[in-house]
Amino acid sequence: MHIKTRFTEMFGIEHPIVQGGMQWVGYAEMVAPVAEAGALGFLTALTQPTPEDLAKEIQRTKDMTDKPFGVNLTILPAITPPPYAEYRQAIIEGGIKIVETAGYKPQEHIDHFKQHGIKVIHKCTAVRHALSAERMGADAISIDGFECAGHPGEDDIPGLILIPAAANKVKVPMLASGGFADGRGLVAALALGADGINMGTRFCVTKEAPIHDSFKAQMVANNERDTNLIFRTLHNTARVMKNAVSDEVVEIERKGGAKFEDVVHLVAGARGRKAMAEGDADGGIWSAGMVQGLIDDIPTVKELIDSIIADANAIINSRLAATTK
């Protein structure tokens, strides 16, 4: 039985499940199976070294599926920012109809996409940012709780509070993000006022995810306590997998007065990529959420999505129905 929501209706997908943008993971081989399974997958624009490479990756994905998929464009403050306008152009010319934006001041990006009839989902970590994105014209919001992998913001509000707090005020369709892995989470998200769920870490632990098997095995072995919050003292908090490198970053910050220069050799993207390619789970920084504690297998994307929907339906039709009789 399908679960229809405002989100599935607006975006023309079968299931209210989204695989959001993930650095070094959002490639065609991740996104196409998600689309084929009836959910919504996103290529990660800035994982592609140039806008031309993104155009090729969009085409590669289209060669693998004719179902809807999108592109994530994360906007971060940078000394030399990437050529965002050229990435946007590649997305527009690629015929993409759905974009996930995240990060800093998305107004010009939302405006440009909307001029070309592209629907925009903006991902944020606070109710005030969600309302701001809604005013800017975002078609949907992804609200990201403190449990999430990557950047949870600085407010430390978990999903159990953040999702209904946002649902009280946000009028456009909303995805719940951070801490979701199964049918229980989907039902909970719907009960809290969301129209679907966005998952990152759980999609990393699937057969198709273009990640070394040792990283997947490590995330299966990990429990909910196996993350570290780094860059707390730099007010740019990131939740990453607990390992030798992230432990060292936390220790340096704990001593006080740490600057980015003091940890850059540990957290450099090139180091993380090398560790990932070589399968060294202790070799670099790797984004992962507390939801690792709920992951105990490595299914195919289709098996994962089908099981979430089946379990969600079972909960709605049996457990919840039984308690209301």
Domains of the chain: total? 2
Do both 110 and 129 map to the same domain? Answer: yes
203 is in which domain, residue-wise?
6-210+294-323
Same domain, 273 and 309: no
Cβ-count burial 5-37 (b if 16+ within 10 Å, e if not): bebbebbebbbbbbbbbbbbbbbbebbbbbbbb
1 falls within a domain: no
Same domain, 167 and 259: no
Is the domain of 195 the same as that of 245? no
Environment class of 170 (CB within 10 Å of its CB; exposed 0-12, middle 13-18, buried 19+): buried
Q: Is residue 298 part of a domain?
A: yes
List beta partners, residue 143: 124, 176
Examine the domain organization and report whether 48 and 148 are in the same domain.
yes
Q: Are 254 and 143 members of one domain? A: no
Q: Would residue 280 count as lying in a domain?
A: yes
| Contact by Cβ (8 Å): 35, 26 | no
Which CATH number belongs to the domain containing residue 55 in this structure?
3.20.20.70
Are residues 167 and 102 located together in one domain of the fold?
Answer: yes
What's the CA angle centered on 107, arms 103 and 43, to 5 degrees? Answer: 50
d(CA 111, CA 106): 9
Judge if 42 and 153 occupy the same domain: yes
pTM: 0.96
Per-residue pLDDT of the chain (325 residues; tens, 9 = 90+): 789 999 999 999 999 999 999 999 999 999 999 999 999 999 999 999 999 999 999 999 999 999 999 999 999 877 889 999 999 999 999 999 999 999 988 999 999 999 999 999 999 999 999 999 999 999 999 999 999 999 999 999 999 999 999 999 999 999 999 999 999 999 999 999 999 999 999 999 999 999 999 999 999 999 999 999 999 999 999 999 999 999 999 999 999 889 999 999 999 988 988 898 899 999 999 999 999 999 999 999 999 999 999 999 999 998 887 766 5
In this structure, the answer to whether residues 41 and 136 fall within a common structural domain is yes
pLDDT, position 323? 67
CB 168 within 8 A of CB 193: yes
Do the domain assignments include residue 25?
A: yes
Domain membership of residue 215 (yes or no) is no
Is 77 a member of any domain? Answer: yes
Task: Clarify whether residues 162 and 243 are in a common domain.
Answer: no
Q: Residue 235 domain-assigned? A: yes
In a domain, 185, yes or no: yes
Q: Counting beta carbons within 10 angstroms of the beta carbon of residue 239, is it exposed (0 to 12), middle (13 to 18) or buried (19 or more)?
A: buried
